[in-house]
Amino acid sequence: MASITQPRISPAVNTSPFYSAQLRKFAVKAMVTMLALLVAIAYLLPFGNMALISIKSADQISGSTDNNILPLSPQLYEYEGESYEVYNIPQADGTVAQWALVDKGRQSSGFIDPANPEAGLIEWQGSWRTLESVYVYDPHPENFAEAWDLINFPRLFFNTLFIAVVGMIGTLLSSICVAYAFARFPIPGKNVMFLILIGTIILPSQVTLIPTYAFFASIGWTGTWLPLIVPHFFANAYNVFLLRQFFMTLPRELDEAAMIDGAGPFRVLMAIIIPQSWPAIISVGLFHFIFAWNDYFGPLIYLLGKPDLVPQATSIMAMVLPLLIFVLAQKIFMRGVVVTGVDK
Amino acid sequence: MSAADQSRAAPASSKAQITERRRSDLARQQRIWGWIFLSPWLIGFTIFTAVPIFVSLIFTFMEFSLSSDAAPRFIGLDNWIKLFNDPVAINALGVTFRFALIAVPVGIILPLAMAALLNSKHLVGKILWRPLYYLPYMVPAISSIFIWQAFLNGQTGWLNRVLRGIGIQEPPNWFQNESTILFAFLLMGVWGIGNSMLTMLATMQGVPTELYEAAEVDGAGAFTKFRSITLPMISPVIFYNLVLSVIGIMQYFVVPYVITRGTGNPNNSAYFFNMHLYKTSFTFFDMGYGSTQAWFIFIIALVLTVVLFGTSRRWVYYASGE
3-state secondary structure labels for all residues of B244-302: HHHHHHHCCCHHHHHHCCCCCCCCCCCCCHHHHHHHHHHHCCEHHHHHHHHHHHHHHHH
For residues A226 and A248, what is the distance between their CA atoms, to the nearest angstrom?
A: 33
Q: Which residues have CB under 8 Å from A195's CB, separation 6+?
A: B305, B306, B309
Most confident of A180-184, A317-321, B249-253: A180-184
Nearest to B31 among A25, A185, A287 (CB): A185
Judge if A127 and A86 occupy the same domain: yes
Judge if B20 and B144 occupy the same domain: no
Judge if A274 and A133 occupy the same domain: no
Judge if A168 and A122 occupy the same domain: no
Confidence of residue A302 (pLDDT cuts 50, 70, 90): very low
Confidence of residue A301 (pLDDT cuts 50, 70, 90): very low
Residue A95 is which amino acid? T
Say what the pLDDT of residue A343 is: 20
Give domain status of residue B240, yes or no: yes
Question: Residues 278-317, chain A: which have Cβ within 8 Å of B?
Answer: 279-280, 283, 287, 290, 293-294, 297-298, 301-302, 308, 311-312, 314-315
Give domain status of residue B70, yes or no: no
Interface probe, candidates A203, A324, A344, chain B, greatest B C-beta count within 10 A: A203
Give domain status of residue B215, yes or no: yes
Contact in structure between A44 and B132 (CB atoms under 8 Å): yes
Nearest to A231 among B44, B130, B282 (CB): B44
Judge if A149 and A167 occupy the same domain: yes
Judge if B123 and B29 occupy the same domain: no
Say what the pLDDT of residue A309 is: 35
For residues A210 and A192, what is the distance between their CA atoms, to the nearest angstrom?
A: 27
Helix, coil or strand: residue B63 = strand
Contact in structure between A168 and A285 (CB atoms under 8 Å): yes
For residues A169 and A235, what is the distance between their CA atoms, to the nearest angstrom?
A: 11
Q: Which of B76, B67, B137 is nearest to B280 (CA)?
A: B67
Domain boundary among A92, A115, A137: A137
Give domain status of residue A66, yes or no: no
Q: Taking all residues of chain A, what is their mean pLDDT, rounded to a whole number?
A: 75
Give domain status of residue A6, yes or no: no
Q: Which residues pair with A78 in a beta bridge?
A: A83
Cβ–Cβ contact A225 with B under 8 A: no
Residues of B in contact with A252 (CB under 8 A): 320-321
Q: Which of B38, B19, B20 is nearest to B30 (CA)?
A: B38
Evaluate if residue A243 carries a pLDDT over 80.
Answer: yes
Interface probe, candidates B22, B25, B35, B37, chain A, greatest A C-beta count within 10 A: B37
Judge if A220 and A129 occupy the same domain: no
Judge if A129 and A83 occupy the same domain: yes
Give domain status of residue A41, yes or no: yes
Judge if B149 and B205 occupy the same domain: yes
Give domain status of residue B136, yes or no: yes
Q: Which residues have CB under 8 Å from B256's CB, separation 6+?
A: B185, B264, B270, B271, B272, B275
Buried b (16+ CB within 10 A) or exposed e, B218-239: eebebeebbeebbbbbbbbbbb
**Domain of residue A241, CATH code:** 1.10.3720.10
pLDDT, tens digit (0-9, with 9 covering 90-100), for A130-166 = 777 788 887 877 777 777 777 677 777 777 788 889 9
Contact in structure between A120 and A80 (CB atoms under 8 Å): no
CA distance A87 to chain B (A): 23
Q: Which residues have CB under 8 Å from A78's CB, separation 6+?
A: A84
Judge if A154 and A302 occupy the same domain: yes
Judge if A234 and A203 occupy the same domain: yes
Judge if B101 and B39 occupy the same domain: no
Give domain status of residue B321, yes or no: no
Residues of A in contact with B236 (CB under 8 A): 245-246, 248-249
Give domain status of residue A10, yes or no: no
- Provide the number of structural domains found in chain A: 3
Judge if B240 and B272 occupy the same domain: yes
Average pLDDT over residues A243-272: 88
| CB contacts < 8 A (A, B) | 313
Give domain status of residue B115, yes or no: yes
Evaluate if residue A220 carries a pLDDT over 80.
Answer: no
Judge if A123 and A156 occupy the same domain: no
Judge if B161 and B42 occupy the same domain: no
Whole-complex ipTM: 0.79
Confidence of residue A67 (pLDDT cuts 50, 70, 90): low
Cβ–Cβ contact A33 with B under 8 A: yes
Judge if A306 and A199 occupy the same domain: yes
Give domain status of residue B160, yes or no: yes
Subunit contact B156:A67, Cβ cutoff 8 A: yes
Average pLDDT over residues A312-322: 64
Judge if B164 and B288 occupy the same domain: yes
Judge if B34 and B176 occupy the same domain: no
Judge if B144 and B263 occupy the same domain: yes
- Quick one: closest CA in A to B254, which residue? A298
Give domain status of residue B8, yes or no: yes
Judge if B43 and B114 occupy the same domain: no
Evaluate if residue A38 carries a pLDDT over 60.
Answer: yes
- How many angstroms separate the first and last alpha carbons of chain B? 26
Nearest to B53 among A46, A181, A208 (CB): A208
Residues of A in contact with B41 (CB under 8 A): 174, 178, 197, 234-235, 240
Q: What are phi and psi of B311, to 5 degrees?
A: -75, -20
Judge if A194 and A89 occupy the same domain: no
Evaluate if residue A306 carries a pLDDT over 60.
Answer: no
Domain boundary among A93, A117, A137: A137
Domain boundary among A137, A156, A179: A137
**Domain of residue B196, CATH code:** 1.10.3720.10
Subunit contact B251:A205, Cβ cutoff 8 A: yes
Q: How far is CA A135 from the centre of its chain?
A: 32
Say what the pLDDT of residue A326 is: 66
Q: How far is CA A182 from the centre of its chain?
A: 33
Give domain status of residue A65, yes or no: no
For residues B301 and B298, what is the distance between their CA atoms, to the nearest angstrom?
A: 5
pLDDT, tens digit (0-9, with 9 covering 90-100), for A9-27 = 555 555 555 677 788 888 9
Rounded to 5°, angle at Cα B107 from B103 and B111: 160
Q: Which of B40, B301, B308 is nearest to A203 (CA)?
A: B301
Confidence of residue A223 (pLDDT cuts 50, 70, 90): low
Evaluate if residue B4 carries a pLDDT over 50.
Answer: no
Structural domain harbouring B38: 2-59
Residues of A in contact with B257 (CB under 8 A): none
Subunit contact B48:A208, Cβ cutoff 8 A: yes
Evaluate if residue A289 carries a pLDDT over 50.
Answer: yes
- Provide the number of structural domains found in chain B: 2
Percent of chain A with pLDDT over 90: 15
Judge if B53 and B100 occupy the same domain: no
Structural domain harbouring A41: 19-54
Nearest to A315 among B56, B132, B139 (CB): B139
Picking from A305-309, B59-63, B127-131, B196-200, which range would have the lowest pLDDT averaged per residue? Answer: A305-309
Judge if A128 and A148 occupy the same domain: no
Say what the pLDDT of residue A236 is: 87
Cβ–Cβ contact A2 with B under 8 A: no
CA distance A106 to chain B (A): 30
pLDDT, tens digit (0-9, with 9 covering 90-100), for A187-206 = 899 999 998 887 787 666 76
Average pLDDT over residues B42-66: 88
